[in-house]
Copies of this chain bind each other. A is one copy, B any other.
Amino acid sequence: MLRTKEQYRQDLFNMKPNIYIGGKKVGRDDPRLAPGINVLDITFDLAQDPACQGLATATSTLTGQPINRWAHLPQNPHDLLQKQKLIRVGARRAGGCIQRCMGQDAIVALAVCTKEMDEANGTDYHQRFLDYLKVYHEKDLDGCCAQTDAKGDRLKRPSEQKNPDAYVHVVEEREDGIVVSGVKMSITQAAYADEIFVIPTRALMEEDRDFAVAFAVPGDAEGVRLITRPVWLREKDKAGAAPFARFGVSDSVVILDNVFIPRERVFMCGEWQFGRRMALLFADSHRFSYCGCKPAVSDILCGASCLAAEANNIAKVAHIREKLSSFASSAELAFAAGVAAAVYGEKTSAGVFFPNEIYANVGRRLTGELIYHEYNLLTEIAGGISVTMPFGEDFEEGDNVDDLMKFIVRNPNLDPDVSLKIWKFIEEIGASAMSAWYKIAGVHGGGSPIMETIALNLGYDYEDKKRLARYLAGIDETLDDSALVGLEPHPIQEE
């Protein structure tokens, strides 16, 4: 089944109210949530679009039916390339974060890790997860991922925290399920998701056993509260607004207050040895997703910079052109890292095809290092007008409309209203509260540069490089470079 956006909204608005904004409980139809829901709409529209069949959709490995690709378990490099492309297409249309990949990355992590836990311990998590996922496919659900715990004191492990709710944990194990409590934070999209996937955020030790827990919970389950922070543009500007101004995002603090999770929704419970693995599977899959979405952000900033250059009539100036070409590098190097991650990925024991972690990490890290610089480029090209231009109403009413509509034109080939739309867009993209969200998410979403550095230092084959240097330095007589010689791409072909 492929839900329409109308069906998605209907289901959403039927959920039990457990969202809080600014101290008040609100329904999921609160207008401040609408900008984020508008983004989700795109993901449902794409799946209905005939031009996007096979891109926005895939064939479920569980039902054999068409499903939204955001619910699909990738089977081969082509699936990963399609996922990457879908994210880029969607993120472009959303003017930035498409918000739905975290759920997909959670599904991947759960599918792979449940299998590995079963192989190690003889449990039956994997089949249980597939049973759950089958229904998810059949109902075309949308899940978000709640990974980041509140964490409390960063110098202490989960079991050492004074406040036990700093990390989500098992409070009670029952015959038919478990009871969990704790706080997750910075959970994007939670306020308008059907389901919340909860997974561990870090490596765990034996004493952290209670914190080794993963499950799926409906967004409005008993005991779940979401304190939600919407980010969106000024309300005034919304009527008749440009597409960019219609979109926004909400992040939530998710409080789990003695929530009962039935057995069939529990996918890890006590397997502390797999805490790091689950956390990294999600993180690495999500960093691969960034190799699709950050190119979209660069595309948008590039396009905005091109428009600003045109509106300033400086599009031919040498240093402007050099700056524009920087966006090509950031977009396409990140995208290329995703391509290499797909081509040199690996088939896991669960059958899921998983992106190469090194390429995912170098790609994601690059984007995190460059995001502020990209906004800096936009600012250099656009000039100061984005923070000093009069409010939109000044161009519509009052004594100064004529003067301002003349004022706004800098390129005689552009009409005043096109000029105005360009500069409003530059303001919204470069100088609004959304702009701060994009910069900060650009650094920290999916792991900040320092996290990718750590992942690289764990996974990169430094020994190979040392062997090479020892050989060239004359310390070792021979060089073993068989790993590189034997490196083979996975065949890419649509199936």
Tell whether, in the assembled complex, residue A406 and residue B20 are in contact, meaning their CB atoms are under 8 Å apart. Answer: no
Q: Within the assembled complex, what's the spacing in Å between the Cα atoms of A62 and B93? A: 48
Chain B residues, Cβ within 8 Å of A383: 444, 448
Tell whether, in the assembled complex, residue B332 and residue A359 are in contact, meaning their CB atoms are under 8 Å apart. Answer: yes
A333 within 8 A of B: yes
A314 within 8 A of B: yes
A321 within 8 A of B: yes
Known contacts A244-B472, A432-B433, A457-B321: does B440 contact A384 (CB below 8 Å)?
yes
Tell whether, in the assembled complex, residue A387 and residue B440 are in contact, meaning their CB atoms are under 8 Å apart. Answer: yes
Which of A115-123, A149-157, A195-203, A272-280 lies on the face that meets chain B?
A149-157
A175 within 8 A of B: no
Tell whether, in the assembled complex, residue B92 and residue A468 are in contact, meaning their CB atoms are under 8 Å apart. Answer: yes
Among A386-445, those with CB < 8 Å from B are 386-394, 396-400, 403-404, 406-407, 409-412, 418, 421-422, 424-425, 429-433, 435-437, 439-441, 443-445
Known contacts A475-B418, A485-B89: does B225 contact A400 (CB below 8 Å)?
yes
Chain B residues, Cβ within 8 Å of A467: 303
| Closest partner residue, chain B, to A155 (CB atom) | B313
Among A66-121, those with CB < 8 Å from B are 77-78, 81, 85, 88-89, 92-93, 95
A306 within 8 A of B: yes
Tell whether, in the assembled complex, residue A394 and residue B325 are in contact, meaning their CB atoms are under 8 Å apart. Answer: no
Tell whether, in the assembled complex, residue B453 and residue A255 are in contact, meaning their CB atoms are under 8 Å apart. Answer: no
Known contacts A394-B20, A485-B89: does B387 contact A441 (CB below 8 Å)?
yes
| Closest partner residue, chain B, to A312 (CB atom) | B154
A380 within 8 A of B: yes
Tell whether, in the assembled complex, residue B304 and residue A185 are in contact, meaning their CB atoms are under 8 Å apart. Answer: no
A300 within 8 A of B: yes
A363 within 8 A of B: yes
A299 CB contact (under 8 Å) in B152, B307, B468, B473:
B468
Tell whether, in the assembled complex, residue A387 and residue B231 are in contact, meaning their CB atoms are under 8 Å apart. Answer: yes
Please, how many residues of chain A have a CB less than 8 angstroms from a CB on the other chain? 166
Q: Within the assembled complex, what's the spacing in Å between the Cα atoms of A375 and B491? A: 36
Tell whether, in the assembled complex, residue A474 and residue B242 are in contact, meaning their CB atoms are under 8 Å apart. Answer: yes
A108: min CB distance to chain B, Å = 20
Chain B residues, Cβ within 8 Å of A479: 92-93
Tell whether, in the assembled complex, residue A253 and residue B444 are in contact, meaning their CB atoms are under 8 Å apart. Answer: no
A365 within 8 A of B: yes
Tell whether, in the assembled complex, residue A403 and residue B78 are in contact, meaning their CB atoms are under 8 Å apart. Answer: no
Which of A127-135, A136-144, A338-346 lies on the face that meets chain B?
A338-346
A314 CB contact (under 8 Å) in B154, B185, B462, B465:
B154
Which of A6-14, A22-30, A207-215, A259-267 lies on the face that meets chain B?
A22-30
Known contacts A473-B421, A491-B492: does B387 contact A23 (CB below 8 Å)?
no
Q: Within the assembled complex, what's the spacing in Å between the Cα atoms of A344 and B335? A: 11
A376 within 8 A of B: yes
A254: min CB distance to chain B, Å = 11
Chain B residues, Cβ within 8 Å of A453: 321-322, 325
| Closest partner residue, chain B, to A462 (CB atom) | B306
Known contacts A422-B475, A449-B380: does B465 contact A303 (CB below 8 Å)?
yes
A469 within 8 A of B: yes
A329 within 8 A of B: yes
Known contacts A318-B318, A444-B379, A493-B491: does B336 contact A255 (CB below 8 Å)?
no
| Closest partner residue, chain B, to A433 (CB atom) | B433
- Interface flags for A458-495 (1: CB within 8 Å of B; 0: not) read 00101011111111111100010110110111111110
A336 CB contact (under 8 Å) in B163, B336, B485:
B336
A203: min CB distance to chain B, Å = 18
Tell whether, in the assembled complex, residue B333 and residue A333 are in contact, meaning their CB atoms are under 8 Å apart. Answer: yes
A34 within 8 A of B: no
A255 CB contact (under 8 Å) in B400, B466, B490:
B400
Chain B residues, Cβ within 8 Å of A78: 489
Besides the known contacts A23-B396, A336-B340, A431-B433, 12 further A-B residue pairs in the complex with CB atoms under 8 A apart:
A81-B343, A152-B410, A185-B407, A227-B390, A243-B472, A300-B469, A302-B465, A336-B337, A372-B373, A380-B450, A387-B436, A430-B436
Of the A-B pairs whose beta carbons lie under 8 Å apart in the complex, a sample of 29, sorted by A's number, is A20-B399, A20-B400, A23-B394, A24-B393, A51-B485, A52-B485, A85-B487, A89-B481, A154-B312, A163-B406, A242-B474, A244-B474, A257-B403, A302-B465, A303-B465, A303-B468, A325-B457, A333-B362, A336-B336, A336-B359, A340-B340, A343-B343, A372-B376, A376-B439, A380-B448, A432-B433, A432-B436, A433-B433, A435-B436
